[in-house]
Amino acid sequence: MAEKTRSIWVFGDYRNYFQNRVTLQLLSRATDLAQKIDAEVCAVVFGHEVDEWVGEYIAHGAKKVFVTDHPMLKSYSTDLYVALMERLALTYDPEIILVGATSFGREFAPRVSKRLKTGLTADCVGLDMNEEGLLVQTAPAFGGNVLARIVTPGRRPQMATVRPGTFQEIPHNYEAAGEIVRVPLPANLPRDRVRLISSERQPPREQKIEDAAVVVCGGRGMGSRKKFRNLYDLARILGGEVGATRPVVYSKWAEEEALVGQADKHIQPKVLLSFGISGAIQHTAGITNADFIIAVNKNPNAAMMKMADVAIVADANQVCTAFIRELKRRIRS
């Protein structure tokens, strides 16, 4: 029997720490959304020996967890997971399904949406409910510097993917109660057409920029690779990390690891110094959690300048040089 109450589902992506955080972040957002439409927050977990994660999701806001636990599901499989999700969704009819935009999530969510013949919005930077009870998905659109508010009026569930770091998780509460619904592996599950030959966990990516208290970000306005190197000196003195915009990474002024933005790293420094960056949404989506922003740009009207606490109208490289000098002087004195 399908349940009467509405529900918001979050796909439990637990394969490693990084994925799991986005699941927790989505549970937190789902909890806010659920209050607005009087719905229940559910997590969905497929795998083998996954009780640890089930507990974790309940502690982070899931009121109910659907679990299918079977040795066949030990490693992530798009074919099998999609089939399981389809069945679950057809049985319980969720209003909303949220999936983290991890590598797996990006393979999984589009197939699920296609099966369920419903819309899917990629990389939402905002999720809300409107008066009509529709999920309003805010996402960058047209490859430009604009955000679009997108809804899926006529189909259910409403589906969205969200990059890690977009929402904040709520602190865990191991006292929290949640219902666990154990769903047996269906007998007529399709054959998996992809076989895992080998899988090696790569050394966990160093999350340096993501955790740095000070980040010095540079954009195309730095002018050249050589001038851009100046930012590394500044970052070193500040004990911080260097971030970059996409054109900078494309021109190889900085490593790909430095790329900050919606598509890659979300940073949350206490102090962010931004040099020669226009402030395109794809970049600024990655810095929304910065506490204090100092931006340098020749153009006082650049979007980056509008969102700064201190906007410096000047040449980026000259300010960088002056900054280094002044810092050295002050640290010495």
Partner 1 sequence: MLKMIVCMKQVPMVTELPWDTGTGSLKRDLAEGMMNPACKHALEAALRLKAEHDGHITAITMGPPMAEEVLREAIAMGADRCLMLSDRKMAGADTLVTSYTLARAIEIFCPDFDLILCGCHTSDSETAQVGPQLAEELDIPVIAYAEHVQLGDGSITIRRVSDNFLETLEMDMPGLITLTTHNYVPRYTPLAGLQDAFDEPNILIVSADDLGLDEAMTGIQGSPTRILDVFSPTAEKKNIVLTGAPKKIVEELFERFDDRIGSVIRKDLKVDRQSHG
Residues 284-313 interacting with ligand FAD (rule: CB under 6 A): 296-299, 302
To ligand FAD, the closest distance from the beta carbon of 130 in angstroms equals 26
Are 14 and 53 in contact by the 8 Å Cβ rule? The answer is: yes
Residues 260-289 vs ligand FAD: string with x where CB under 6 A? -xxxx-----------xxx-x-xx------
CA distances, 120 to each of 11, 56, 125, 212, 257 (Å)? 14, 27, 14, 33, 28
Decide: is 102 part of the binding site for partner 1 (CB under 8 A). Answer: yes
Name the token pair of 105: 């999530």
DSSP label at residue 100? E
Considering only 49-57, 60-68, 171-179, 254-262, which stretch makes contact with ligand FAD by CB under 6 A? Answer: 254-262
Residues 171-190 vs partner 1: string with x where CB under 8 A? --------------------
Residues facing 67 on adjacent strands: 45, 182
Residues 133-172 interacting with ligand FAD (rule: CB under 6 A): 143
Are 267 and 286 in contact by the 8 Å Cβ rule? The answer is: yes
To partner 1, the closest distance from the beta carbon of 191 in angstroms equals 9
Are 234 and 216 in contact by the 8 Å Cβ rule? The answer is: yes
Are 44 and 66 in contact by the 8 Å Cβ rule? The answer is: yes
To partner 1, the closest distance from the beta carbon of 25 in angstroms equals 16
Report how far residue 311's alpha carbon sits from residue 92's, in angstroms, rounded to the nearest whole number: 52
* Contact partner, 114, from partner 1, ligand FAD, none, Cβ < 5-8 Å per class: partner 1
* Contact partner, 327, from ligand FAD, partner 1, none, Cβ < 5-8 Å per class: partner 1
Decide: is 227 part of the binding site for ligand FAD (CB under 6 A). Answer: no
